[in-house]
Amino acid sequence: MTESSRPEGTPEGIKEKLVRTKQRWAEEGRLLTGTAGDPERDRLPPGQRLVTDWPVLDLGIQPAVAEAAARLDIDGLVANPLSLSWAELMALPQEERRNDIHCVTQWSRYDNDWRGIAVIDLLARAEPRPEARFVTMESHDGYTTNLPLDDIARPENLLATHWEGRPLTRQHGGPLRLVVPHLYLWKSPKWIRRITLIAEDRPGFWEVRGYHERGDPWKEERYS
């Protein structure tokens, strides 16, 4: 069976339908207002609407990652590659953050309380080499995305294990997801398993399908 002929009721078919829809949004420039905001002045980025729930958005597949199988690798252009089991991750200092999150599909949610491991602490352990300028990230469901190293190495970013005092649920990326609150949420991959430091940018899943390389909500960087 070819990809284009998979039944829409199957997980593969649901994924293909969602991907086609979001690619069409990029082609049409859907949701763009043509305005810019200022994060120092505006809490809600342009074109966004405030919600109080937490919408679930994925590719129709939510991998069941048991804690025993959860681990994080940090490799590529680093002096000290890391491969950390769940127990090793939980033995690291745990930190808390409160921040707003913004999804490219137009919703924002204020005052989310997270607990997890600070990304900058893990990067410091891995010791990025001087030529490292970007990262590519991979999740247990095969999803990938990319970021400039400067954007992931910010003090507010967490590898989150808890939200609002409870372990992250499977549907929201548990047991481990990245949280990069200053960019659209597709840059914060769920079920993350690998961070690879690289010298040249490498577009991920949505970036090769018309979405922006960086994704700043206040600049409306929804699409390329």
Helix, strand or coil, per DSSP, at residue 22: helix
Any bridge partners for residue 144, and if so which? 138
Any bridge partners for residue 107, and if so which? 49
1-10, 69-78, 146-155, 177-186: segment of lowest average pLDDT: 1-10
CB pairs under 8 A, 24+ apart, for 85-89? 86/175, 89/117, 89/159, 89/161, 89/176
Burial 43-67 (b: 16+ CB within 10 A, else e): eebbbbeeeeebeebbbeebbebeb
Given this model, what pLDDT does residue 160 score? 98
Domains of the chain by start residue, with CATH? 3-219 (3.90.420.10)
More confident residue, 222 or 10: 222
pLDDT band at 11 (very low <50, low <70, confident <90, very high): low
For the chain, where are the alpha helices, taking DSSP H only?
Answer: 11-28, 86-90, 119-126, 149-152
Residue pLDDT, tens place only, 202-222: 999 999 999 999 999 999 999
* C-alpha dist (Å) from residue 211 to 94, 135, 139, 184, 215: 33, 17, 18, 11, 8
Query: Is the pLDDT score of 15 beyond 60?
Result: yes
- pTM score: 0.92
50-59, 139-148, 179-188, 195-204: segment of lowest average pLDDT: 50-59
Region of 34 (left: φ > 0; alpha: ψ -120 to 50; beta: rest) is left
Given this model, what pLDDT does residue 3 score? 39
Query: Is the pLDDT score of 50 beyond 50?
Result: yes
Instruction: Enter the DSSP assignment of 129.
Output: -
CB 41 within 8 A of CB 162: no
Given this model, what pLDDT does residue 57 score? 76
Average pLDDT over residues 62-68: 91
Query: Is the pLDDT score of 18 beyond 90?
Result: no
The bridge status of strand 82-85 relative to strand 107-118 is unpaired
Residue pLDDT, tens place only, 81-136: 999 999 999 999 999 999 999 999 999 999 999 999 999 999 999 999 999 999 99
